[in-house]
Amino acid sequence: MSNELTLIQLRRALADIAPSACAFELALVGDHLEALSEAERLWVNDWGVHRQCEFSTGRRCARDVLSALEVDTGDLLPDADGIPQWPEGVVGCISHSRGLAMAIASRGGAPFVLGLDLEKTNRLSEAAMKKVVHPMEESFVSGDQVRASVLFSLKEAFYKAQFPHWRIRGNFQDMGLEVDLASGVAKVSQLDVRFAPELRQLRFSFRLVDDYVVSLCWS
């Protein structure tokens, strides 16, 4: 399947699972340095071409999202932890994987936190799968690469949602998820005590598109 067709299907998938208050955008990764502010260009000046393309495409998507939300866009530089510094009153997230980039954001406190992740479903090695899967999830995965990739993406979305607010670092086995493949939703079943109790109530949704999985986590 071509990246262009995959992009169309991912757009439909995000429209299906994104909270109504959110705006989102997707694009094929390419040279979008013209979309960067001067400060952002300086930030990536010494990076390799591929990283510059991923960064600039993600920022271009983010600027389109902010425009849709009628928010003025300044610099979208990473902070000390690598998190994009969104304008005041905005929560958002950027993700990219193997030639595609996307961004999502909302304003006004709803959702309160928001995480987005895009992953390929055919890349996890057996060793990587063992790091991703919590013991309670082993029967769900049962060695299946796609199911392990869904868990990987959902957990990435979780960490992207919680980290800007709580700044708690963790690993994939800090949480166990119950996943419903048929409906494309998940919920937290087990969570390490280092994380705030309210994080158990975060909502998860995902869609499988071609050999990608796109996941959202929000509250």
In this prediction, residue 9 carries a pLDDT of 96
Query: What distance in Å separates the CA atoms of residue 129 and residue 123, rounded to the nearest whole number?
Result: 10
20-108 adopts what CATH topology? Ribosomal Protein L22; Chain A (3.90.470)
Digit-by-digit pLDDT tens for the chain (219 residues) are: 578 889 999 999 999 999 999 999 999 999 999 999 999 999 999 999 999 999 999 999 999 999 999 998 889 999 999 999 999 999 999 999 989 999 999 998 888 999 999 999 999 999 999 999 999 999 999 999 999 999 999 999 999 999 999 999 999 999 999 999 999 999 999 999 999 999 999 999 999 999 999 999 999
Q: Which residue has the tokens 């979008």?
A: 32
Structure tokens at 141: 């995965």
Task: Determine the pLDDT at residue 207.
Answer: 98
Sign of the alpha-carbon torsion through 64, 27, 207, 153:
negative
- Which pLDDT belongs to residue 1? 55
Bridge partners, 185 (sequence order): 180, 205
Closest to 26 in 3D by CA, of 87, 104, 85? 104
* Tally of helices (H runs) and strands (E runs) in the chain: 6, 8
Q: What is the pLDDT of residue 74?
A: 87
| 103 neighbors 61 (Cβ within 8 angstroms) | yes
Q: Give the 3-state secondary structure of residue 162.
A: helix
* 3-state SS class at 8: helix
Asked whether the domain spanning 117-218 has the same topology as the one spanning 20-108, the reply is yes
Task: List the domain boundaries for the chain.
Answer: 20-108, 117-218
Assigned architecture for domain 117-218? Alpha-Beta Complex (3.90)
Q: Which pLDDT belongs to residue 111?
A: 87
At residue 110, the pLDDT reads 82
pTM given for the model: 0.95
Please choose, from the candidates 177, 187, 179, the residue with its C-alpha nearest in 3D space to the C-alpha of residue 208: 179
